[in-house]
Amino acid sequence: MGSPGKDSLRLSAAAARCHTLHSNQMLNRGYAYTTIVNRESSGRTLLSHLASLYPHSTPQAWRQKLDNGEVTLNGIAASGCESLTSGQTLVWNRPPWSEPDAPLHFEVLFDDPHLLAVNKPGGLPTLPGGGFMENTLLRLVQKRTPNANPVHRLGRATTGIVLFTKTPQAAAELSANWNTPGVQKIYRALAQGIARNEAYEILTPIGRVPHPLIGSVWAANPSGKPSKSLARVISRTANTTTFEVSLHSGRPHQIRIHLASIGHPLAGDPLYGPSGLPLESLPGLPGAGGYSLHAQFLKFLHPVTGEQIDLEAAVPPGFSAPQFAVSGGNSSSCRRPRERF
């Protein structure tokens, strides 16, 4: 990316701020997981349905949860023996629990009455899920800016720019244009192997495939949804390649899947193998870390003012510095000092 034009809004060094909250390892408030019984589940017993719907727990564990009164069916405490009917409301009232540790800080990259852009650290989920309710970027941001809502999400281990809206007008405009050429999303990814070509257009469809622990995950699937990424080689080492990847669709785990599908899974990715499918032997969970993926640049027109917004999140220390010493195209080498408090 070149130097910003006169109409480009870039953050001054003094405006970059880092917000930190400290975990006290207290229990969260618990959560009520609510689902509606579908037609395919009609006639099944509640116990078998729960074990299928939430495969992270065994039928024996669900029996204990039922005995503890944690599950209701149409508002009535359930025993597990009920025969389900389409349209019933099933609620699992999970008791409060101590969440896994996560970094409880974020850097503010841009802030105005309509938008907030932050730099998410690795290990912090964007949204609640997978055992995280309070230790999430959404909760941290909303403690500072209660009306902020994310336009998109990054994987738990992925670092970089997450954009929030503060007004309905901004949310509607950005949501309508998020996967159009008017919004440029550029990532850096450290991948396994030495790429033979300098650039790749990756069109691998993405859909659900089986996973032995959680039922299914997003992965390369010929019958999946159309997807497009453009990957350009930035540098190579003896056994890795650093790519700059531009997204032209917004599928879950798209970069991880797409680079894996061309034979270059992210270095350290515990889930995806060289085919873009889950590893054959003990695949990890989607939220597990170990890889280096960074949302570095985001460019778009402000949804209210129409001004050009060019955002950049500095590459984190987890990426080896030499990987980013060689840069091509229009990538910016600008790095901003950070003010921390």
| Domain presence at residue 85 | yes
In a domain, 217, yes or no: no
| Residue 324: predicted pLDDT | 35
Structure confidence at residue 205 as a pLDDT band (50, 70, 90): very high
Task: Read off φ and ψ for residue 158, nearest 5 degrees.
Answer: -80, 140
Percent of the chain with pLDDT over 70: 86
On the question of pLDDT at 222 being above 70, the answer is: yes
Q: Which helix (H) or strand (E) holds 296?
A: strand 293-301
Q: In which band, very low, low, confident or very high, does the pLDDT at 21 lie, cut at 50, 70 and 90?
A: low
Q: Residue 298 above 50 pLDDT?
A: yes
Does residue 23 carry a pLDDT above 70?
A: no
* Burial (Cβ within 10 Å: 0-12, 13-18, ≥19) of residue 42: middle
How far apart are alpha carbons 169 and 326 in whole angstroms?
40
- 271 in a structural domain: no
Decide which of 175 and 340 is more confident.
175
In the chain, the number of structural domains is 1
Evaluate whether residue 55 is within a structural domain.
yes
Task: Look up the domain containing 55 and give its range.
Answer: 31-94
Q: Return the structure tokens found at 150.
A: 């994310």
Q: What is the pLDDT of residue 22?
A: 53
We report the CATH number of the domain holding residue 64 as 3.10.290.10
Tell me the average pLDDT across 63-90: 97
- At 104, is the secondary structure helix, strand, or coil? coil
Helix (H, G, I), strand (E, B) or coil at 230: strand
Q: Once rounded to an integer, what is the mean pLDDT over residues 121-150?
A: 94
pLDDT of residue 160: 98
CA–CA separation, 6 and 16 (whole Å): 20
The pLDDT of residue 271: 97
Complete DSSP assignment for 114-156:
SEEEEEEPTT--SSSBTTBSSSSHHHHHHHH-TT-EESS---T
Q: What is the mean pLDDT of residues 278-307?
A: 95
In a domain, 284, yes or no: no
The answer as to whether 148 is a domain residue is: no
What pLDDT was estimated at residue 26?
72
pLDDT at 49 over 60: yes
Q: Which residues are CB-neighbours of 241 under 8 A, at least 6 positions away?
A: 190, 191, 192, 193, 194, 195, 233, 235, 264
Instruction: Report the percentage of the chain scoring pLDDT > 90.
Output: 79
User: Distance between CA atoms of 106 and 19, rounded to whole angstroms?
Assistant: 5
In a domain, 340, yes or no: no
pLDDT digits (tens, 9 = 90+) for 89-102: 999 999 999 998 89
CA angle 324, 13, 178 (to 5 degrees): 65
Residue 248 lies in a domain: no
**What whole-number distance in Å separates Cα of residue 245 and Cα of residue 139?**
29
**Per-residue model confidence (pLDDT) at position 56:** 79
